[in-house]
Amino acid sequence: MRRTLFLAPFIFSVSAFANENMGLNDHWKIFADFLYIQREKIGYTNIVNDANKQDLDPCDCFNLHVLNVQKLLGQFDHEPGVRLGIAYQPNARKSFEGNVFWIDTWEGSRVVKGNQSLYFPFRDLNYTIDYVNASKVVATYTSSLWGSELNYWRHWTPRHVNYFSLSGVVGLRYFNLREGINMQFSHPPDTSDYNVHTENNMLGAQLGLNLQLNPTKTLSWDMTAKAGAMANHAELNSLLLDRNNTVTLRDLKHQRWNGLTFADLLASLSFQVTDHFNVHVGYELIYLSNVALAPDQISKQTKSVAERDIKTGGHPIFHGLFAGITVGF
């Protein structure tokens, strides 16, 4: 099965755990986390209409809509992922850490059938052949995320010594977000595809704070907030085929740079099993602004200027649970 039990997804920042409940004599720490993450269902964009529905309510144009991006996003479930990292703490006041994470692909797919009445809402319905009077439409939306970070932590009060511990972080952050939408229209006996793919490569700097509460020698609460600014290299590949995929109406490849911001919030509970081994569980939320999402690039234009640029107004949110271990030596 694609979803294996030993991978529990999510994208969350490892930094807070780089310094978890380990003895102060442990200078090196290795951590591994299993993630279970949900991509929020944000987006609409109508992609299939049914002309037969107009007879039911000729005054309601929205009544024609039978498939939109929201219905595809509704099939996005929690996906598994993994995060691995290493940290070095030369003394109680500072530490360095790095990690990489990966989350399995979210996927949503829907099939719509009609009596040769389905069509894609191009502004000029005479623009295509197979995207009008179709009998079946199969639409699939995929989204995937991975990333890494390198951080320097300054512990203004030593961790696991006082009831409260406050730390600050500065570092580098990278995200890679890829998305794709495939719309397959069947106009018997022909079938044609409209494909849209985007990729975002985001690199930047981050700042953050961590507050740790140590009610006992073995139990710790951590709350971490990080935010930063990034430069994003966005890419778009759009291919619109017609007449049983034998005619190319669009074959566009565009790229651009833009700036964006992000936020990363994390709350966790850790338990020190032995002097050199701890387990932890928690919840994390990551927000990205101004990225290129595949649904935003779907064009209903029929002019040659269609999709001449990449829209980078997407604001995806990723959140979920995680559990992991930290080993010190």
Q: What is the pLDDT of residues 103-141, one digit of tens each?
A: 999 999 999 999 999 999 998 989 999 999 999 999 999
Q: Is the pLDDT of residue 24 over 60?
A: no
Residue 42: predicted pLDDT: 80
Residue 10: predicted pLDDT: 36
Lowest-confidence region among 26-35, 37-46, 69-78, 123-132: 37-46
The angle subtended at Cα 282 by Cα 278 and Cα 287, nearest 5°, is: 135
Say how many C-beta atoms besides its own lie within 10 A of residue 88's C-beta: 13
Q: Which residues contact 123 (CB under 8 A, 6 or more apart)?
A: 300, 301, 302
Q: What phi and psi values does residue 249 have, to the nearest 5 degrees? A: -90, -35
Residue 7: predicted pLDDT: 40
CA 150 to chain centre: 20
Q: Is 84 buried (19+), middle (13-18) or exposed (0-12) by CB count in 10 A?
A: middle
Bridge pairing between strands 317-328 and 277-288: antiparallel
Q: What is the rounded distance in angstroms from the CA atom of residue 237 to the CA atom of residue 233?
A: 14
Which span out of 12-21, 70-79, 302-311 was modeled with the highest average pLDDT?
70-79
Exposure on the CB side of residue 311, measured as CA atoms within 13 A = 15
Lowest-confidence region among 59-73, 108-122, 131-145, 154-168: 59-73
Mean pLDDT for the chain overall: 89
Q: Is the pLDDT of residue 241 over 70?
A: yes
Q: What is the rounded distance in angstroms from the CA atom of residue 234 to the CA atom of residue 259?
A: 10
Q: Is the pLDDT of residue 217 over 70?
A: yes
Q: Is the pLDDT of residue 261 over 70?
A: yes
Residue 12: predicted pLDDT: 37
